[in-house]
Structure 1
Amino acid sequence: MDTFDVSNRNSWYFGTMSRLDATEVLMNERDRGVFLVRDSNSIAGDYVLCVREDTKVSNYIINKIQQQDQIFYRIGDQLFENLPKLLTFYTLHYLDTTPLRRPASKKPEKVIGKFDFDGSDQDDLPFRRGEILTVIRKDEDQWWTAKNQQGQIGQIPVPYVQRCEENTDDNCIDRPLSSISNCGNPLGPSNSLRSPLLANVTCKSDATESLITANCHQLSNSLKKSDLHRKLPAYARVKQARVPNAYDKTALKLEIDDVIKVTKTNINGQWEGELKGKKGHFPFTHVEFIDDCDPLHSPESNTTEAHSVQSTKNDWGE
């Protein structure tokens, strides 16, 4: 039987991944018992254990639950203190037709710089637009660890890079990890501002591509990791006006000095909030957080959506 190091999280954890992509990776493996662990697409914080069986890939939901002050991981009716112990258990016990034998092979993932990133922390990896980087570890949704061609390693902001087609230097194309919304508004990786962006980037729509110049809202935005975990809801002041597309009924119209209640920050840079009694989305580049806000300008409180976590043995909806 193959052996693997359960403590080497990077070998078996594949991060954010669709069910289809996981199936494709595992079906390319010959052996039964080859597996990977990915993030659940339906319940934040949960995981999915994907296993190559005889002629199929099975997906098992792993619920992350808290009992008093302790975290446990539940799969079926089994409870474990951590993921390595869960994986160790299933190297000795069958899930369906096979125990776990080894993690799926990982191809080196390469990304290309979409914008210049100068970095501000000693752990950052500065890079230029067009520079090729190899992803080493996906630490967070918006910050990954990567290596440049000189062998230097550090953290990079995810929305500042794009995937390379076929993971080869010669086939790097515009395949964004996060989208660009509104001409000239690069979607950065956090709530506050960090390093200058290039003035000229390619702005794409369904029908046209045009080079953005100074007339297309140059932004000198940089980002701080300290604001990544800002408690929401929080208030932000509009620093750039925006008139949304008339066909987009969920976009908010922004006027300079409006105060907007930010209720959700998304990795694609389209944040959600409330303004003048209307809920909708807007580009994060148009606002800046304020520490103190006159409550007279604050919109009504937002509502929260509760998700019920059920104990289920298979992740059919993922």
Structure 2
Amino acid sequence: MASSFDTTDKSSWYFGALTRQEATDILLAERESGVFLIRDSATCIGDYVLCVKEDSKVSHYIINKTQQSDEVRYRIGDQLFVDLPSLLAFYKLHYLDTAPLIRPAAKKQEKVIAKFDFDGKDNDDLPFRKGDILTVISKDEEQWWTAVNSMGMRGSIPVPYIQKIEDGQQLPEVPRPGSGGPVSLAAPHNSEAAMKKYQTHQRKLPARARVKQVRVPNAYDQTALKLEIGDIIVVTKTNINGQWEGELNGKTGHFPFTHVEFLDEES
């Protein structure tokens, strides 16, 4: 029977930052050979890995993302493709080792609970209220995931605003705004302190902040700032995705808000 999965449906086959063992466990739970997933490479940042169940084993094929004449190409073995869907379409018809690709692995539904209200700023955003339960569809970026709510509405959600619900975990009791009572979400700060970190629009910018955590940015990210504890950074913009912008040592770039704290000073 010919494979009929949609190679352009990235949300069905891209599993993000899985470990090799996590990918292996997922595929070993599948019955058929040819079931697959694509994950990020943990050893080569920017590359991918095609993980396929082949008989009783799971094979992991590195996909190198290369630049050729200002165009991105994806290499697997001696084959070169213009994009990942083209690569998958090829291996629907050709064997990797013992089987062609037949379908993506079944994705386990991941539930999250909202820690704060999110009104959304763009048309693609999914607004929600504190305490809402959302189902994660895909983890597109470090700070932005795609999710669906109980009404079936789908959109982007900011990761700093949500908390993962573990298997068998009793749902945390999160009071609605104005209801009073303590927040039972596991967090290092109470809700009021945490909200102040996110609702920074009242802070006049630019404002100075002190770096409290070292950060060595990805070598592929030319716009990220390198942070050393004690550095004083001038924050010029606070974004809802948790990536702020600022100036440090003559360079302008972005950095995670969790790595700095504003200096208490009059502007």
**After TM superposition, is the score higher than 0.5?**
yes
- Which residue number corresponds to residue 190 of structure 2? 212
Secondary structure, aligned partner of 2:228: strand
Q: Is 1:237 matched up with 2:208?
A: yes
Shift, 1:203, TM fit:
8.0
| Equivalence for 1:19 | 20
Taking a change above 3 Å as real, the CA distance of residues 47 and 210 of structure 1, as seen in their structure-2 partners, is closer
Q: CA separation in 2, counterparts of 1:89 and 1:148?
A: 35
Q: Which residues of structure 1 form unaligned runs of 5+?
A: 175-197, 225-234, 245-250, 253-261, 266-270, 279-283, 301-318
Is the Cα contact below 8 Å between 2:34 and 2:102 reproduced in 1? yes
Classify 1:76/1:30 alpha carbon distance in 2 versus 1 (closer, same or farther; 3 Å). same
The residue that corresponds to 1:36 in the other structure is: 37
**Contact 2:172–2:185 (8 Å) recurs in 1:** no
Q: Extract structure 1 runs of 4+ deviating beyond 6 A.
A: none
Q: Using the alignment, how far apart are the partners of 2:230 and 2:55 within structure 1?
A: 57
Map 1:298-309 onto structure 2 (within 5 A). Answer: 298=249
Tell me if structure 1 keeps the 8 A contact 2:37–2:50: yes
- C-alpha contact 2:13 2:37 (8 A) present in aligned 1: yes
Judged with a 3 Å threshold, the aligned counterparts in structure 2 of structure 1 residues 217 and 61 are, in CA distance, closer, same or farther, namely: closer
Does 1:5 find its partner at 2:6?
yes
Question: Higher relative contact order at CA 8 Å, sep ≥6: structure 1 or structure 2?
Answer: 1
Q: Pick closer, same or farther for the CA change 1:76–1:263 going to 2, 3 Å.
A: same
Would you say the 8 A contact 1:202–1:210 is kept in 2? no
Map 1:128-277; keep pairs closer than 5 Å: 128-166=129-167, 171-172=170-171, 212=190, 219-222=196-199, 237-238=208-209, 251=213, 264=217, 273-274=227-228
Closer/same/farther in 2, CA of residues 288 and 145 from structure 1, 3 Å limit? closer
Distance across 2 between alignment mates of 1:236 and 1:94: 58
RMSD across aligned C-alpha pairs, in angstroms? Answer: 4.0
- The equivalent of 1:194 in structure 2 is none
Partner SS for 1:136: strand
Q: Which amino acid aligns with 1:273?
A: L
One-letter amino acid of the structure 1 residue matched with residue 190 of structure 2: I
Give secondary structure in 2 for the equivalent of 1:219: helix
Does residue 97 of structure 1 match 2:98? Answer: yes
Closer, same or farther: CA 74–22 of 1 in aligned 2, 3 Å: same
Which residue of structure 2 aligns with residue 307 of structure 1? Answer: none
Task: Tell me how far apart the structure 2 counterparts of residues 236 and 81 of structure 1 sit (CA, whole Å).
Answer: 44
Q: Sort the Cα spacing of 1:125 and 1:78 in 2 relative to 1 into closer, same or farther, 3 A.
A: same
- 1:49-128 superposed matches below 5 A: 49-128=50-129
> Are the aligned partners of 2:147 and 2:155 in contact in 1 as well (CA < 8 Å)?
yes
Q: Secondary structure at the match of 2:22?
A: helix
| 2-structure distance, mates of 1:27, 1:112 | 29
Deviation by residue 1:254-304 (Cα, 9 ceiling, x = unmatched): xxxxxxxx7639xxxxx95036689xxxxx99x97446x7xxxx389xxxx
What is the alpha-carbon distance in structure 2 between the residues aligned to residue 288 and residue 4 of structure 1? 39
**What whole-Å deviation, never above 9, does each CA across 1:199-239 have from its counterpart, x for those lacking one?**
965686xxxx887376x676152489xxxxxxxxxx9721x
Q: C-alpha distance in 1, partners of 2:138/2:78?
A: 31
Alpha carbons 1:135, 1:146 under 8 Å: kept? yes
CA distance in 2, matches of 1:28, 1:161: 29
| % same residue | 50
CA contact (8 A) 2:15 2:138 kept: no
Deviation at 1:156, TM superposition (A): 0.5
Whole-angstrom distance in 1 between the partners of 2:159 and 2:6: 28
1:52 is displaced (CA, Å) by: 0.4
Change (3 A) 1:288 1:73: closer
Structure 1 CA distance for aligned equivalents of residues 90 and 153 of structure 2? 37
- Report SS of the residue matched to 1:14: coil
Looking at structure 2, the residues matched to 17 and 223 of structure 1 have their Cα atoms a distance apart, in angstroms, of: 33
SS of the residue corresponding to residue 15 of structure 1 reads coil
- Structure 2 residue runs without a partner (length 5+): 174-179, 219-224, 233-237, 252-267
Q: Equivalents in 2 of 1:30, 1:126: separation in Å?
A: 38
Q: Is the 8 A contact 2:4 2:103 kept in 1?
A: yes
Number of residue pairs aligned between Structure 1 and Structure 2: 228
Contact 1:199 1:218 in 2 (8 A): no
